[in-house]
Structure 1
Amino acid sequence: MGGIASVPGRGRKASPQEQKKARGNPGKRPLNNHVPEFSEVTNIDVPDYMENMEFASVMWKSIVPELCAQKVLRITDMHNVEAFCMAYENWRKAQREVAFHGIVVEGAMGGPIKNPALTASNEAARQMAMFGAMLGLDPSSRARLTGAGQKKKGNAFAGVLNM
């Protein structure tokens, strides 16, 4: 197949231009300067429906100021922030259920079955990983954003020759 995705949507996702610029354009390929400019979010309150939620509102209040401070949050990213916070809410609630009832519960027929909260927890964790990566909330996404691991100029062993 020669590195070309055989089905649309599969394969490696293209990095946004802001990420490429932030990394110093490591591939040295020409950047597309005709990308749409979306409004930067400088501060946004917790959505009304999320205000009374136990965990989602706390997560919102902790990540939104950080993303705004890094100037990476755009108005078009807000649905990802909401989805991340809701996934966190669901994950915490599912984990509470597992902690309270255990990993095995009694089924409808009286026999032991896997706690359904485990499935909800796993799905919420997958969603958090996906939306968190889109927002740069995990270490590997942050490294791609900041260009971590860039090679230092100079020879690390130059001092050895002068001994």
Structure 2
Amino acid sequence: MGRPAKPTALKLLQGNPGKRKLKKDGPAPAPLAETPDAPEWLGEWAVEMWGAIAPWLTQTGIMTRTDTHNLAVFCAAYERWRLAEEEVASKGITVVDAKGVLKKNPACTVINEALRQLASFGAALGLDPASRARLMGSGGPEKPENPFIVLKGGRASK
């Protein structure tokens, strides 16, 4: 499966270097003007994460009404990860089951699944460098001038 298409609004913001025709009727949900409140069903850790991320997503124009469920799932996964990490910290990586057999703490599985969800939904929200660049445009520094261009017969700019 290929890379998902960029929204038309994002293409307009980033410019159109290929001069390709842009769809005018593409879906363009409007960015939220105000940071939405966290859903009531989120737990303490999840609400804390919502408060840390939602304002930034709103200020950067990434957050739309259709993204709130992605943020809610991200925050819920964050809470599951924190709770499972606390469980492993208190009981260890291995536990003794009802039959007296030593086995992997089930919280380790919860940690792995929560981390997968955090990575997936975090990428959808632009919370890692690669997806942030994809959502917002590269915006990185320009390449420095090559000082050896003069050797190839070119001109150095001043």
Does residue 106 in structure 1 map to residue 96 in structure 2?
yes
Verify: 1:33 aligned to 2:14, yes or no. no
Name the CA shift for 1:65/1:27 in 2 (closer, same or farther; >3 Å).
Answer: same
The two structures have a TM-score, normalised by structure 2, of 0.82
1:68 maps to 2:58: yes
2:21 alignment partner AA: P
In the alignment, which residue of structure 1 is the partner of 2:6? 15
Aligned to 2:72: 82
Task: Say what the alpha-carbon RMSD is for the aligned residues.
Answer: 2.5
Unaligned runs of 5+ in 1: 1-9
Say which SS state the counterpart of residue 123 (structure 2) adopts: helix
Q: CA deviation at 1:29?
A: 2.9
Q: Which aligned runs of 4 or more in structure 1 are off by greater than 4 angstroms?
A: 158-162
Judging changes above 3 Å, is the alpha-carbon distance between structure 1 residues 26 and 59 closer, same or farther for their aligned structure 2 residues? farther
Partners of 1:93 and 1:60 in 2: CA distance: 16
Is the Cα contact below 8 Å between 2:32 and 2:58 reproduced in 1? yes
The residue type paired with residue 8 of structure 2 is: Q
State the shift of 1:31 in Å.
Answer: 2.0
Q: Percent identity?
A: 47
TM-score, with normalisation over the residues of structure 1?
0.80
* Count, aligned residues: 151
Do 2:8 and 2:27's aligned partners in 1 also have CA atoms closer than 8 Å?
A: no
Report if the CA contact (8 A) 1:41-1:74 is conserved. Answer: yes
Residues of 2 paired with 1:153 and 1:109: CA distance?
Answer: 63
